[in-house]
Amino acid sequence: MAIQAILHIKSEEPIMGELDDLPSLGDTLIKVNNPRQKDGKDLYYIEMDVVTVYWPIERLNFIEILPTEDEEIIGFVRE
């Protein structure tokens, strides 16, 4: 199952994409499937038919993991 994520790249706008797995401590690259802007538009610096991109981990500030339909989000509960 693909992991929906937002990648915050240094000196760039954040991008969205699907990750096969979360990166481990020894990884130097991260594989992103279906990379796009947060609004769903294509990235201007990637060709139109590209569906998978590898980014060096050192270029990332941080990664946000988005919840899936299978996960239950629990907010504040008022009793």
Over residues 22-74, the pLDDT tens digits come to: 999 999 999 999 999 999 999 999 998 899 999 999 999 999 999 877 656 66
36, 59, 64, 72, 79 from 15: Cα distances, Å: 6, 13, 10, 24, 39
pLDDT at 73: 61
CATH architecture group of domain 3-65 = Roll (2.30)
Q: Report domain extents, the chain.
A: 3-65
Contact 14, 5 (CB under 8 A): no
pLDDT digits (tens, 9 = 90+) for 3-13: 999 999 999 99
- What DSSP state is assigned to residue 10? T
Count CB neighbours of 56 within 10 A: 11
20, 43, 72 from 35: Cα distances, Å: 13, 7, 25
pLDDT at 74: 63
